[in-house]
Amino acid sequence: MYLNIANSEKLRALMGKDALGVASLLFNLCSYVIILFSVIFMWNSTSFFIKKRKKEIGIYALLGMKNKDIAKMMFMETLIIGIFSLGISIVIGTLLSQIFARVFMSFIKATGDIGIVFSFKALKNTLVNFSIVFIIISIRAYRIIYKFKLIELFKGEEINEKEPKNKTLKGILSIILLILGYFFGSLTGIKILGAASLFLALISVIVGTYLFFNSFFALYVSLMRKRKNSYKNVEKLLALSNIRSRIGSNAKSLAVISILNASIILAASTTMIVTGLLEKDISNHRFSYVYHSNKGADEIVDKVLEQHKDNKIKNDIFIHSLKFNENEILKDGKEGKNIYVIKEEDYNKLCAIANIEEKLKLKNKNNIAILDENEISSERVWKIGASKIKSVKVNENINMLFGDNEESMNLLEYREEIINPEVGGKTVVVTSESFERFKTFGKPLSLRFINVEDQNKSKELTEDINNSLHEKTKISSYYQSYESVSNISGTFKFIALFTSLIFMISSLSVIYFKIVMECDEEIKRYSIMKKIGFSYKDIKKSMGKELAIIFMLPLIL
């Protein structure tokens, strides 16, 4: 089902070119995650079903069947079940993919008729991947038969599992790894350390989680049982005894449940963060269209706008700017890095259209303001230069060049860029008097700003303008950013929803198998408890405390 959607050419056609590459990468990465968790799920399921059939296997052994023959039978049985389940899942997946394809369309805000979603490439990949998985699981079922002794097949559930060795050392190590994992996770926001810290966080948390339940949890249970007060609370003592008797299987189950729950939270939180960052890109496009104006381009744009009556013009203004290399306008500037200069009154005109209430007020000709969406921060620092970076903060002076003359200018304000990023850059706002002086040395550049009605529905208008201009001038459009962000954030949301469903189903399955398996194993134990005088209420309390300990810990961790 997932691969059907990921490989659908019809759905790909609905996405913008800018977002298609990112979406394809996300789908490919997610497909590996789904395969991994499918293997984990089937691995646990196989263990459950084999454990449930121990007595059946023991009877086969008593009747004279060799381990080799039993293993062959289990291998073939698992393989046949795998083939049938694969066939049924392909049919159900194809049907469900029609529903999820429409869900995906709603996430990426696409419209149109996509018909039946089916991909032969997806079918081929599904058959190959899951055939390999089922063969591996079948081989495991084959090998696991040789591990059982005859006594374990009939009385295995009555044998307590051994506590892990070096549990104190491993328990302390688990706490250290978990703390390190959370610490590395907090560093993911730092650009230099982002990818490395995320990888280290995942490894630390996964290993730490397993060791926590395998060793620290075992250590805690042992210490609690040794306390004298524990013997006063019978229900608590029984719960701890039952947990201790299945400490190995409990550790594996609890670790898997914790990791699956963490994966759901990770998918949701990552989607929220990425969506927030992407939507900021839309807010940076304050105008429907901004382009470098010239007579030919203006005539083309006017002609196209006349043909689209649904997107009427709301605002249409021209402003004059000057383009410099950084080293042409700043003493310590870097060659090849562009800086634009605009007048204070033009900036305030743009603010009025962009609904920015706070207007800029430069006190005198030696005051300037900086517009730059890339470097704006709480520190509001302007970094200048190449080999030696000079930082200029608000209210500090900076040496600017007027041809061969050098003058000290005061950085009065640092504001976010108002010009669409694709045609703008670092912009210096100056007074009209200073602008006239810079005019002698800078390259004149006229910019046209257009706002239209229903810009979220201006796809055809944007395509016509871009096709008509044929790269004759540099242009930035709101809709291209809106479409790209909608496609990428929609893909993130869909993948988060889909993977969260898989993780949740896997987690519930592990919990279900554990409850069913242990209920069957504990029937005799609770029956003996009832015979020696325990009431139904006491047994129920004991079971409640045991389940609370087992299923609250993964959630807390």
Q: Cα–Cα distance between 366 and 324 in angstroms, integer?
A: 19
**What's the confidence (pLDDT) of residue 375?**
47
Flag whether 472 is in a domain. no
Within a domain: residue 293? no
Distance, in Å, from the CA atom of 240 to the CA atom of 551, rounded to the nearest integer, reads: 14
Do residue 93 and residue 180 come from a single domain? no
Residues with Cβ within 8 Å of residue 307, at least 6 apart in sequence: 464
Is residue 437 within 8 Å of residue 394, measured between CB atoms?
Answer: no
Task: Tell me, yes or no, whether 319 and 270 share the same domain.
Answer: no
pLDDT, residue 524, reads 66
Cα–Cα distance for residue pair 553/444, rounded to 1 Å: 66
Say how many C-beta atoms besides its own lie within 10 A of residue 135's C-beta. 14
Domain shared by 169 and 250, yes or no: yes
- If we measure between CA atoms, which residue out of 333, 323, 320, 321 comes closest to residue 401? 333
394 is a domain residue: yes
Query: Given this model, what pLDDT does residue 342 score?
Result: 92
Residue 294 lies in a domain: no
Residue 300, domain member (yes or no): no
Residues 155 and 168 in one domain: no
Same domain for 101 and 135?
yes
**Is residue 303 a part of any domain in this protein?**
no
Q: Which residue has the tokens 């000290």?
A: 408
Q: In this predicted structure, what is the pLDDT of residue 216? A: 74
pLDDT value for 37: 73
Question: Is the same domain home to 21 and 35?
Answer: yes
One DSSP character per residue, 9-76 reads HHHHHTS-HHHHHHHHHHHHHHHHHHHHHHHHHHHHHHHHHHHHTHHHHHHHHHTT--HHHHHHHHHH
pLDDT value, residue 449 = 93
List C-alpha distances in Å: 230 to 37, 286, 407, 448: 39, 66, 81, 79
Co-location of 499 and 519 in the same domain: yes
Residue 156: predicted pLDDT: 54
Q: For 165, list phi and psi in degrees, rounded to 5.
A: -80, 155
Q: How many domains are contained in the chain?
A: 3
539 inside domain: yes
Query: Does 173 lie in the same domain as 155?
Result: no
> Are both 68 and 153 inside the same structural domain?
yes
| In a shared domain, residues 115 and 37 | yes
Q: Give, as one character, the DSSP assignment of residue 156.
A: G
**Could you list the pLDDT tens digit for every one of the 557 residues in the chain?**
666 666 666 666 666 666 677 777 777 777 777 777 777 777 777 777 777 777 777 788 778 788 778 778 877 877 787 788 778 877 887 788 778 778 877 887 777 667 677 777 777 777 787 777 777 777 776 676 666 666 666 665 555 555 556 567 877 888 888 888 777 766 655 444 445 666 677 777 778 877 777 777 767 766 666 665 554 555 555 555 665 555 556 667 777 777 777 777 777 777 777 777 777 777 778 899 999 988 888 989 999 998 988 888 999 999 999 988 877 887 766 776 788 899 999 999 999 888 888 888 888 888 888 887 654 444 455 555 554 555 677 788 888 888 778 888 888 888 888 888 788 778 899 999 989 888 888 889 999 999 998 888 888 898 898 888 877 788 888 888 888 888 888 888 888 888 888 778 777 777 777 777 666 666 666 676 677 676 777 767 767 666 666 666 666 66
**Residue 133 buriedness (CB in 10 A; 0-12 / 13-18 / 19+):** middle
Distance of CA 537 to the CA centre of its chain: 46
Q: Which of 92, 127, 159 is the last residue of a domain?
A: 159
- Say if residue 332 is in the same domain as residue 279: no
Residues 408 and 492 in one domain: no
Domain range for 90: 1-159
